[in-house]
Structures are given as C-alpha cells and as structure tokens.
Structure 1
Amino acid sequence: MRRERVRRPSGAVPPSPFVRRGRPAGAQQDTEADPARAGTMGSKQIAQETFDEAVQENITEFEMEPEEAVREAVLQFESQGVDLSNIVKAVRPPASENGQRQKHQILLTLESLAGAVAERDAARLPQPLAALAAQCREQLALRCLAGRHGAYPAVLSACQLAAGDRQLLLQALAALAALLDGQPDLLDAAGRELLLRSLREQQDAEVTLAGIRCVRHACLKHEHNRQAFVQGGVLPVLTGAIARHGSAAELVRTAASALRVMTFDDDIRVPFGHAHDHAKMIVLENDGLRVLIEAAKAFTDNSAVLSELCATLSRLSVRNEFCQEIVDLGGLNFMVTLLADCMEHPDVVRQVLGAIRAVAGNDDVKDAIVEAGATELIVLAISHHLGQPQICEQGCAALCMLALRKPENCSVIMEGGGALAALQAMRAHPREVAVQKQACMLIRNLVSRSRELCGPILALGAEGLIAEARAAHRDCDDVARAALRDLGCKVELRELWTGQKGGLAQ
C-alpha cells in the first residue's frame, strides 16, 4: 500500500530554497553555473545529481513508478521556479549489487571514450564516439551533462588521435559537432586550431562538411569564437569549400549557413560585435557574393540550398554597392524565380522575402525588383501564406522598402493589391506586433508621397486597423501615428519636448 505523501518536519534547520515534498528541509540543493544557461541566468538552477536523488526518493519512499517519479520531480522543481532545461529528465539506472550508485548512460559512454583516449587505443574509439554523438543529438540536457564531466577534452583528444584515419576523423568531428551544439563555450584555442588546420588540409568533401558543422556550432551566439575563427582565416576556407565542392548540396548549404553565422550579433555577453566588418570581409576580400550566386546555379531544383543561400545573401547586403552587385551577378533573377517556383514552401518564401527586403535598401535596386515582377509575387506570397505571421511580416517589410522614396513603385504596389494584402495580414494577426508594425510602415510609405492613394486605402478600412494596432501594441504607437497622419486622419501628436521651461542642468 502506497504511503501518504507528507512533508517531513524541518526541525530547527531552516528550509532550503528548493524544498520539495518529501525532501528533508536541511538537504541543501546544489547549484551550478553552466555556459549553456546564459539565457536563463535569472532562474534557479540545480545539479543533475539533485534531480536524480529527488527522482530516486519518489521511487523508494513514495513507491512511484519511474515515469511518475520523474514527472513529479519535474513538477515540484518547476513550481519553485527552478530551470530544468539542462537537466536530464530520466531515471538513473539502479544501484549495483554492491550498492554503488549507477550513472546515466551518456556518462558511461564518456568513461569508455576517456579510457580509450588515455590508452591511445584508436581501435576502441569508434564505438564510444558514435554512441556519444547519438546521445548528444538527443537533447541539450545530455550534451550539458557530458560537457560538465569532461567530454570536450576527451573528444578533442580523439580528434587528434584520428589524424590520418579518414573514417575515425569523421566520427570524432561528428561527436565534437554534436557536443558543441548549444555549448560553444567548450571550444578552446586548441580546438579552434585543430578545426582550422583540418579544414585547410582536407580535400575530402565529407570531412570538410563535418569540420564546418563544428565551426558553425562554435560560433553561434559566441562572439569571441567568431572573431577568433575570422582572425584565423576561416572565411576563405568557407568560401573556398563552396567553390571547390559546388556540387555537394549539404556542404554548400552548411558552409553558407556558417558564413551567415559570422555576420550575427547575437552574443548578449558583449556590448557590440564585428558583424558588419565580417560581412564586408566576406564580400570584399573573399568574393563572397559571386561564390554564393554561382553556387546557386547548380541547385535550381534544391529549395533547401537556395533558401540558405538567399538567407546568407541578405546578411551580406550591408552596403549599397553590395546590393547592386547582387543584381549585377544575377542574384535578383534567381530570387524572383525561386519565389515563383517555391510558393508552396513557407520556409523558402520567408527567406527569399527577407533577401529581397535586404537588397531593396538600394534605391536603384528597388526599380530593378519592381521591373522583374517581384511586387506581384510578394503580394501573392502574403495572400497565399496569410496564416504565417513571419511571411506576412517579411512580405510587408519588402513592399515597405520598395515603396520608400519611390512614388512610381507605390502605384504598382497599390495596383497589385499590396495595401489590401497588408491590411488582411493585420486582420489575420492582431497580436503579432511585428506584422502590425511593418504593415503600418507600408501604409505610411505608400501615401507619404502619393496622397491620391489615401482615399482608396482608407476605403479598405485602414484607419480602424491602424488605430487598433496603436492601442494594442506600444511599439506600434509611433509608426501608427505617422500612418494615420499621412492618411489625413485626425490624430493627436505629442510634443515630447519643446526646449522651454528651464535649461539643461550644468
């Protein structure tokens, strides 16, 4: 018969901040800092061992089934505000006959790998490397558990031992890539040098792909690694890999993605990054635009590769001359063709719209985009994927850029149903601030230099939708006011500061 679940008396010991039902109040919970937890630094955290003990207590003291014990432990810790994102939520194997506490399977795999590395026995490496890679791919919590128990130095040593053995090197790099996914802090200078050396020396497409995956994982949300890799010469390695292995779809897609990651500014731990500088280096020093557009010609029927190439091109469109160069190299033509051919693929549509939005930053390119017939396709994309907020946002943003400072383009957009599509998107996604904001900006750009369009747009119900967006979203207030003002609607304009009523304090 199951015992009643009651809290134990705490006696004179003050309760732990992580007290859960059935746990002695004096049993202090462990906390630990982990690089992968940077996004949840404000949350309470516990050690894996603490969670495992709680699960085991539920099984032994409250006679729960293993799955129920795990669920109960999760509920109890989460109810107390504990972040369990990096905790393996599974039952640890029971203790052995001699009473020795067992470990999670990934730690047993790691012990096997560490033993083979310590004895420099390359013949024993394949099995634990393959097992570790598979287990790390399952979830971030397993990767973090392995990372905290010395997986990185063991895998790095395995990579070094695998030099000269193609198949073993592939397995070691696969394990390294899986381990680094979400844990870029693990990589050190020795690891960066090993990856750069491997990529420079390798002519094999499969090994190159494995190395590039490691680089990409190491640079995502990690500005120091990005800068270190760029200084080490990774950009010509990536563009060279695309040019040399232009027929290998997965390699081209992954290398383009790695180039794109080099232009990110996503590390919250640094005040500013070198995203813009890296984009310029890819274009000016490594002929990145030509390499990417030439690569696209080999994959006219591969939407996944073309989508990634579009996404990377959009990150490189940071200067007027770069936008124009994309058009001159034929990049605009392949984007328009891709948008027309892949209208049924929302991920591709979203990336192409983002790329068109980016290159439309150049006023001359705006005209080329409209002349290529992209306006009608953008409107079609919004209408066809009206239930997809990201496509609605990117579509409205692309039309907004095409309308900016271009009255003649505004007429084309209006005739093609652009204003109607934007207002339909606002109706479809009233809670999506990004959609509401981009649609308001599009309406304003359409009428700011083309007052004759105010009447037709108001007749579509624009005033009410814009007023609703303004009331619902604080971030929409400024753009909504501007849109209403340029439409000729009555709107209260606030004077934030007039320069009167006293001077500045000295």
Structure 2
Amino acid sequence: MAKLSKRVSQETFDEAVQENIDVFEMEPDEALQQAISEFESQGVSLDSIIKDVPGEEGRAEHPVLSAVRDLEAAVAGTNEDAIAEALSGLDSQLGPDAKAGALELCGQHGAVQASISACRAFAAGGSSLPGALRTLSLVLGHEQNKEFFNVNGGVQMLVKELLLPHKNDAALVQSITTACAAAATKHEGNKMALMTADVAEPLVELVRLHMRQPAALKALCATLKAITTPDDPNEPTGGAFNFGRELAKAGAWQALVEALKAGTSDNFDLALLGNVCGTLKNIAVNEEVCKQVADEGLVEILLALLQASGKDAALVRPACALLRQLAGSDAIKSQIVEAGGLPVLVLMLSNFCGIEGKADKAKSITATLEQAVGVLTAITLRNPDGAAAAAEAGCFQAVLAVMQAEPSAQYLQRQACMFIRNAVARSKDNIPLLLEQGASQLLLKAKALHPKICMDVGSAALRDLGCENYNEGWVIDTMVMGADGVIRNTNDLDNEPVA
C-alpha cells in the first residue's frame, strides 16, 4: 500500500466530524466513521489523530503530552527518582492501551530528546538505565521518531556512551542493543550511523562474550539483522549488502557460527536458534563467506536442527533460508546432498504441508514451505546430479503435494515452478516422472491463478517438460506507440482511437 504522507490537524478532523453531525444530521458514531473514510480516501494519515467524538467543550489534550512535559522537567533537574517516575509515566502512555497517535505526538513534542537525556542521566549504570532504554525503544517505534533520534546523535550516544562502557554486563547489553535495533529497523540513516560509529567489531566481541546468555544474544542478533536488512521504505537502495560484508570481515560469521554451536549444545529454545540462523543468513552475503561457513560444518548442524525441530516454524523457516543461501554456491550443493539434506527437506515439506491455522500462523507456514522448496530450487540449479538425487529422494512428490495443498500461495507456487524447471532442464530422465505425477496440470493452475508471478516460470517449466500448451495464458504486453502518438499496451490497441 502506498505510504500516506498527507496530514491533518486534530482541530480539522474534529471540525469535519462536527460538520457531519450539524449539517448532515448524522449520529455521532456515523459522523466519526464518515470523517475517517473521507480523509483516508484522500490519502491523509490519521496516525496522530484521536478518533473519537469530541465532547461539548471540545477535546481534552492528549495524555501523552503531559507525560512528555513531565519527563522534560525531570531530566532538566538532577533527581534520578523523578526521572524514573516520569519515564514510567511515559511508558504507560505508549503501552498496549495507548491512545491513537501517542507515538507520533510524543515525538513531535520532544520525547526523543528527553529520552536521550534520561539515558545519559543514568549512563553510569544501575537499576534505572534499563527503564530509560525501554522507554527509548518504545518511543523509537515510530518512523518520524527514528529520524529525530538520528539528527540528535542518538546512535552515537548508545554506542559510545552506553554500549562500550557496559559491554561486560549482559543485562545492559540486552537493553542497549534492543534500542539499537529499534533505531535501525526501517531507517537507513540509523543503520549507517551504527556502522559509522565503528560498531562492527564491538558487536562481534559482544556475541562471543554473551553467546550463552539467551536474552543478550537475541538482542544482539536483532541489532545485526536490523543493520543488514534493506527495509527502509523511503530508501529504494541501501547499504545492507555492504554492511553485511563489513560485519563478515569483522568476524561476525565466525561468532554467529560459534553461538549456534553453543546454543545447540546448551539446548537453547528453537526460536533463539532460528534468530541466529536468520542473522547468519544476512551476514553470509557472498560465496566466499558461504564456503567459510560451510567449512565449519554448518550444513550438518542445520540438517540436525531441522530433523529435531518437528513443526516449529520459528526455527525451520530461518534454518531453511540459511541453507538456501548456502546452496547458492555450486560447491555447497553437493555437500547438502551428500549430508542427507534432500530427505530432511522432504520431511520438512511433509511436516508443514496442509497445516491449517489462523492468518498469522498460515502465513508463517506458507513462508516456511517457500524456503524449503527454495532450497531444492537452489540445489537443482545447474546441477544434473542434484536433479537426479531429488528424484530418488522423493522430492517431486513432496513439492507437487505442496502445490496441490497451497494453491493461493503465489510465491511458494513460483518456487515450485522454478524447482520443476531446474529438475528437468539438466536431467531429461525426470520428465516422465513429473508428467506421471501431474506436474503439468499444477503448473497450468499456478499460471492461471498467479499470472503476474508464475506465468514466466510456469511456462518455462511446461516448455522443458515438452508440453505443447506451455504458452497457454501468455499475453504479449509489448508497449507500442499508437497512431495518435500515445504509448499503449498491445492488448489495448483494439481500443485505440481512430486517427
């Protein structure tokens, strides 16, 4: 969905609601919903708007503003108890029961600067610093506040004034890096600021130092992932790849491999092991690092984890994503096959195929299946031996069963189409096997249901299977200039005006 950039004041919104009541004689609730619909249809953001009907005397001030003023007054003094109390008050206004617009309004009225000052007031450590960092992390939940944090030198404060002096305290490392992750998530400027603050080597050191402290390790992984994930909606390109490469050069991949081994031996919960896998995937950004990671025995470790994971998507999805990343290296494809990876992947597909659940769970299951099929796609790419091994391991039946069970999952269907094509492009012996198992019908269905996503790869797979109708559904969409000088899709030429 397009980002809403237009904004409206609380006063203007309230006037629109009142006009609906006075002029159009609507009931208050109906007037409110009508105003919301009208503003949103115009692309107006109502993030900072209190969406209820004003009383006879208008609307009271948003309670978060009073909490921000209290914090500003507290940090202007020297009483640490007063600062802690004010932080608690702001927390209560930003929690799960917060009124609409609290995050944006608090940032507009100085909460970011006040939170930075509160952290500095407790920089020496002690029991109050985690509370200040918790409030800061809450405040950084809004995009605008991340920018305020960036321009006010917040990242430098976190790294230089807090993280480095307290690197031996696992609990404080957890709180500080949680705030670092909140700042860097979806904000390119804060990612860059972290790397400019020379945080790479300290983060590697901290992973090694606290790898057996689950809470600290989780927060460190969150920071590393935030830095290496290109998720800023305002930046079409970012430095995530380069940041990942810099962190790899600083030794992040070695530290994460060590942490994964330690967590496996210490029986860490599967979600934490999944966090480590997901972070390592972001660091293994090129073939050289992938080979180094594989040389440390990670393929065998991942396969053992997958076998022990059962149906826990919190581990299976990132573990498969990491295995898929490694399989992009031609040298590692055969290693995965020789280590027994194909039967393990078939087991994962079987474990998650056809599982039903609520929307969030269903989305997670589909994403897990997509990653598992993606590993098979990578293994069979330019690899005749891998394609032959996939047939022997029962991968065809497993992937086709997933296509049958998840017809609406467009990107999962795309991966399946690509796997089938790879499986037959270099191993023609696989063609009759796939045709006998109904691959062509499922490919045609994928193309029909998801023409934008699956038309190209589905058609290619059908073509390599030798199906004469491989181009079924394909629509030529070349852009040409019509007689009237207007550039149109060739499918629209029938509607071209007569010259």
TM-score normalised by length of structure 1: 0.82
The residue number in structure 2 matching 1:128 is: 86
Query: What is the SS of the residue equivalent to 1:264?
Result: coil
Q: 1:482-497 alignment to 2 at 5 Å?
A: 482-490=460-468, 491-492=470-471
Question: Which letter does structure 2 place at the counterpart of 1:273?
Answer: G
Mapped pair 1:117 → 2:75:
yes
Shift in alpha-carbon separation, 1:101–1:42, aligned structure 2, 3 A = closer
Mapped pair 1:454 → 2:431:
yes
CA distance in structure 1 between the partners assigned to 2:37 and 2:78 by the alignment: 44
Contact preservation (8 Å) 1:182, 1:217 = no
The residue number in structure 2 matching 1:292 is: 256
- From 333, 338, 358, give the equivalent of 2:325: 358
Contact preservation (8 Å) 2:399, 2:416 = yes
Shift in alpha-carbon separation, 1:114–1:43, aligned structure 2, 3 A = closer
- From 328, 342, 347, give the equivalent of 1:375: 342
The residue number in structure 2 matching 1:253 is: 218
The residue number in structure 1 matching 2:295 is: 328
Greater mean deviation of Cα atoms: 440-449 or 484-493: 484-493
Structure 1 residue 236 displacement after superposition:
1.6
Structure 1 residue 481 displacement after superposition:
1.6
Structure 1 residue 162 displacement after superposition:
2.0
Query: What is the SS of the residue equivalent to 1:125?
Result: helix
- From 468, 476, 481, give the equivalent of 2:459: 481
Greater mean deviation of Cα atoms: 67-76 or 480-489: 67-76
Mapped pair 1:414 → 2:376:
no
Post-superposition Cα deviations, 1:412-457, rounded to whole Å, max 9, x if no partner, equal 2222221122222222222222011100000011111110110010
- From 149, 156, 181, give the equivalent of 1:193: 156
Mapped pair 1:230 → 2:195:
yes
Query: What is the SS of the residue equivalent to 2:467?
Result: coil
CA distance in structure 1 between the partners assigned to 2:27 and 2:185 by the alignment: 41
Shift in alpha-carbon separation, 1:208–1:352, aligned structure 2, 3 A = same
- From 144, 147, 151, give the equivalent of 2:107: 147
Structure 1 residue 267 displacement after superposition:
2.3
Greater mean deviation of Cα atoms: 230-239 or 158-167: 158-167
Shift in alpha-carbon separation, 1:269–1:46, aligned structure 2, 3 A = same
CA distance in structure 2 between the partners assigned to 1:90 and 1:340 by the alignment: 52
The residue number in structure 2 matching 1:159 is: 119
- From 243, 255, 280, give the equivalent of 1:313: 280
CA distance in structure 2 between the partners assigned to 1:372 and 1:85 by the alignment: 52
CA distance in structure 2 between the partners assigned to 1:310 and 1:462 by the alignment: 33
Question: Which letter does structure 2 place at the counterpart of 1:122?
Answer: E
The residue number in structure 1 matching 2:410 is: 433
The residue number in structure 1 matching 2:304 is: 337
Structure 2 gap segments, 5+ residues each: 355-364, 479-499
Contact preservation (8 Å) 1:48, 1:145 = no
CA distance in structure 2 between the partners assigned to 1:283 and 1:235 by the alignment: 9
Shift in alpha-carbon separation, 1:124–1:54, aligned structure 2, 3 A = farther
- From 134, 145, 153, give the equivalent of 1:174: 134
Query: What is the SS of the residue equivalent to 2:128?
Result: helix
The residue number in structure 1 matching 2:271 is: 304
Structure 1 residue 365 displacement after superposition:
1.0
CA distance in structure 2 between the partners assigned to 1:447 and 1:63 by the alignment: 65
Greater mean deviation of Cα atoms: 158-167 or 300-309: 158-167
Contact preservation (8 Å) 1:166, 1:207 = no
Structure 1 residue 154 displacement after superposition:
1.4
Between Structure 1 and Structure 2, how many residues are aligned? 453
Query: What is the SS of the residue equivalent to 1:247?
Result: coil
The residue number in structure 2 matching 1:22 is: none
Shift in alpha-carbon separation, 1:44–1:163, aligned structure 2, 3 A = closer
Post-superposition Cα deviations, 1:130-186, rounded to whole Å, max 9, x if no partner, equal 232343243683211211222111111212222224222221111111111232212
Contact preservation (8 Å) 2:270, 2:314 = no
CA distance in structure 1 between the partners assigned to 2:313 and 2:376 by the alignment: 18
TM-score normalised by length of structure 2: 0.83
Contact preservation (8 Å) 1:239, 1:291 = yes
CA distance in structure 1 between the partners assigned to 2:431 and 2:58 by the alignment: 78
CA distance in structure 2 between the partners assigned to 1:120 and 1:72 by the alignment: 49
Structure 1 residue 79 displacement after superposition:
6.0
Mapped pair 1:405 → 2:382:
yes
Shift in alpha-carbon separation, 1:58–1:201, aligned structure 2, 3 A = farther
Contact preservation (8 Å) 2:67, 2:93 = no
Question: Which letter does structure 1 place at the counterpart of 2:91?
Answer: A
Contact preservation (8 Å) 1:40, 1:83 = no
Contact preservation (8 Å) 2:177, 2:220 = yes
Contact preservation (8 Å) 1:311, 1:352 = yes
Post-superposition Cα deviations, 1:228-247, rounded to whole Å, max 9, x if no partner, equal 21011112222222111122
CA distance in structure 1 between the partners assigned to 2:32 and 2:206 by the alignment: 46
Query: What is the SS of the residue equivalent to 1:352?
Result: helix
Shift in alpha-carbon separation, 1:47–1:418, aligned structure 2, 3 A = farther
CA distance in structure 2 between the partners assigned to 1:159 and 1:476 by the alignment: 51
Question: Which letter does structure 2 place at the counterpart of 1:170?
Answer: P
Greater mean deviation of Cα atoms: 266-275 or 364-373: 266-275
Shift in alpha-carbon separation, 1:84–1:101, aligned structure 2, 3 A = closer
Identity %: 33
Shift in alpha-carbon separation, 1:424–1:124, aligned structure 2, 3 A = same
Shift in alpha-carbon separation, 1:147–1:496, aligned structure 2, 3 A = closer
CA distance in structure 2 between the partners assigned to 1:51 and 1:330 by the alignment: 60
Question: Which letter does structure 1 place at the counterpart of 2:87?
Answer: L
Query: What is the SS of the residue equivalent to 2:64?
Result: helix
CA distance in structure 1 between the partners assigned to 2:177 and 2:76 by the alignment: 27
Structure 1 residue 51 displacement after superposition:
4.2
CA distance in structure 1 between the partners assigned to 2:287 and 2:17 by the alignment: 59
Structure 1 gap segments, 5+ residues each: 1-38, 498-506
Shift in alpha-carbon separation, 1:46–1:353, aligned structure 2, 3 A = same
CA distance in structure 2 between the partners assigned to 1:263 and 1:103 by the alignment: 40
